[in-house]
Chain A
Amino acid sequence: GGDEEPAEAGGGGELTTVTLASSPLGHLAPIYIAQDRGIFAKHGLKVEVDTETSDLTSVPSVLAGKVDFATGDLTTLIVARSKGLDVKAVVPASASTGKAGADYGALVVSGKSGITSPKQLDGKTVAVNILTNIAAAAAREAIRADGGDPESVKLVEIPFPQVPAAISEGRVDGAWVVEPFLSAAKAQGAVPVGWGFTDLAEDLTVSAWYTSGAFAKQKPQVASAFRDAVREAYAYAREHEDEIRAKIPTFTEITPEVAGRITLTGWRDEVSRQAAEKLVGYAQRDGLITTAPDLDELILS
């Protein structure tokens, strides 16, 4: 981890090394680009990305100080916080584009099913990647927003990569899916019927870079330097979408052709407090948590 105080932004001197843990997914593209373009160095940081991680290991790793920052979806962070785990969201890692119909995650059904709106999934089987995270919340909310009853829907866990096959083989009636599988599913005849991310909140933060409360307290400059650098990276990304699309195939197995076609995640500067509040409400209603966490503790101010 970073063991030295960062130099003032832009100043010369030693760079503070921070380690980031994230699976090699699309949301890393701005980070890599920022690294290439010296944006982190400008903020006195040197980042090391550790892709040897997973949902199973990232929270304990961050809390134990083995890595400084990791990505986690907001619902997971809320649940962790409410169980007393000292996690602190720093800056969004991926966000909804905020445009229903053009988001990077959607509720899809088979084109042959005759289903045209989420509420028709009442009483049917719907796949989400994990039952306790934001995907489940998004799927439920898409149905609820359409006037359906999410309680009557049977949610099962199917990893995103298997969703296109599960939909087109008719193994499930609907599925929550994100890019690049949303494109793949559509190419195989699936149609999006709901856009749960926008139903959840207007400016939804889907996942965030988070650190431990201890780290944020001991090295506030590093945390904010990291946040500033990422924000700068996002600003660059918003202007240079093509570079992002070109970057993705270099660290994932996604082909350039697919990378050029998929919907990219939105890049936002703030972890949306309003969205977080809504997610807390959903999590309470869906029985994931019993006590609401203090959002001031959860989100780095």
Chain B
Amino acid sequence: MSRYRHGLGLAGLLGAAVAYELVVRALFSPLHVPPLTAIAPEAVRLLGEARFWTATGRTLLAAVVGLAIALAAGVVLGFAIGSVPGLLRVTSSTLDFLRPVPSIVLIPVLILVLDVKEITVLLVAVSCFWIVLFQVLYGVREVDQVAVDTARSFRLGRLARIVHVTWPTVLPYLGTALRLIVSVALALALTGGLVMGTAGLGEMIWSSQESGEVTGMYALVLLTGGIGVAVDLLARLAERRLLHWHVATRREVAA
């Protein structure tokens, strides 16, 4: 089953690749949007370069650190706000106000106290934090009153209720959040390179753009997306292990 599923995923990717090739060849000049047949060899060449791996390492590091911060902060705050009565009502307007402020606008201010690497991590962390926070806040609302009543009747404390009742209920929502923030983290780590020149894949892409190396740039984009695919695979494996009891997972395992 699992192999079959991965086979389908591969088929999806191949289909998209073929579609891309056809559309690009039909509609675009290879100078502006190169076909895959031109990008792929370039990507393979990049894979052999140490430079590429260093850049990838840097980008992934920023993404991972930012993501970890966001996850920790989002989960802690989300559970606190979501499970302490009244706290949501007090904080919600502030959250709503702060949520849409694009951190990119604040870069000139942030640079006064942080360096670009830290800002990149911060960009990642802030964007992912909001996603985790809201996903947790919505997840907390799924908690079944009967389950809570059961826990309360056995006098499980607030913390124990969070661990044994709220947390597992929120977990599927967090699963969704995880897949969202994994890509957001990568995308923003790249953006850091693109708008601030933070060393890494984003900066390489920027540099290729600035040097008019269109094919090189597309090759980098192709490889970056590859990271996304790999991470998604991991996320799905994790879901099968951690959420095996959840309707969604068990239905698919049975199917």
* Residues in A lying within 8 Å of B, measured CB to CB: 23-25, 51-54, 56-57, 59-61, 64, 66, 159-161, 164-165, 168-169, 180-181, 184, 188, 252-255, 258
Contacts and interface: CB of A to CB of B under 8 A. Distances in A.
A57 B111 contact: yes
Contact of A60 (B29, B32, B109, B198): B109
Contacts of A60: 108-109, 111-112
Contact of B212 (A53, A57, A254): A254
B32 A164 contact: yes
A253 B208 contact: yes
Contacts of A252: 207, 210-211
Contact of B209 (A53, A56, A159, A168): A159
B213 to A, nearest CB: 5
Interface of B: 29, 31-32, 107-109, 111-112, 115-117, 195-199, 203-204, 207-213, 216
Contacts of A188: 29, 31
Contacts of A253: 204, 207-208, 210-211, 213, 216
A155 B208 CA distance: 25
Nearest to B204: A253
B194 to A, nearest CB: 9
A54 B29 CA distance: 30
Nearest to A160: B210
B198 A56 contact: no
Interface centre among A181, A253, A254 (most CB of B within 10 A): A253
Contacts of B107: 56-57
B207 A53 contact: no
Given A53-B116, A161-B212, A255-B213, 5 more contacts: A24-B207, A53-B196, A56-B107, A66-B115, A165-B31
Contacts of B117: 52
Nearest to B196: A54
Contact of A56 (B32, B195, B204, B212): B195
A181 B208 CA distance: 12
A56 B117 CA distance: 14
Contacts of A184: 212
B197 A51 contact: yes
Contacts of B195: 54, 56
A60 B196 CA distance: 13
Q: Determine the main DSSP class of A at the interface with B.
A: loop
A188 B32 CA distance: 10
A66 B111 contact: yes
Nearest to A162: B209
Shortest 4 CB-CB contacts between residues of A and residues of B: A253-B211, A165-B32, A161-B209, A254-B211
Nearest to A22: B197
Contacts of A159: 209
A59 B112 CA distance: 10
Contacts of A56: 107-108, 111, 195-196
Nearest to B108: A60
A184 B209 CA distance: 12
B216 A54 contact: no
Contacts of B216: 253
Contacts of A51: 197, 199, 203
Nearest to A188: B31
A52 B203 contact: yes
Contact of A180 (B29, B31, B212): B212
A266 B196 CA distance: 27
A203 to B, nearest CB: 26
Given A57-B111, A61-B111, A66-B111, A52 B209 contact: no
A52 B204 CA distance: 11
A51 B196 CA distance: 9
A53 B108 CA distance: 11
10 contacts: A25-B210, A52-B115, A54-B195, A56-B111, A164-B32, A168-B29, A169-B29, A252-B207, A255-B211, A255-B213
B213 A57 contact: no
Contacts of A165: 29, 31-32
A1 to B, nearest CB: 14
B24 to A, nearest CB: 13
Contacts of B209: 159, 161
A252 B204 CA distance: 9
A159 B211 CA distance: 12
A23 B209 CA distance: 13
Contacts of A64: 111-112
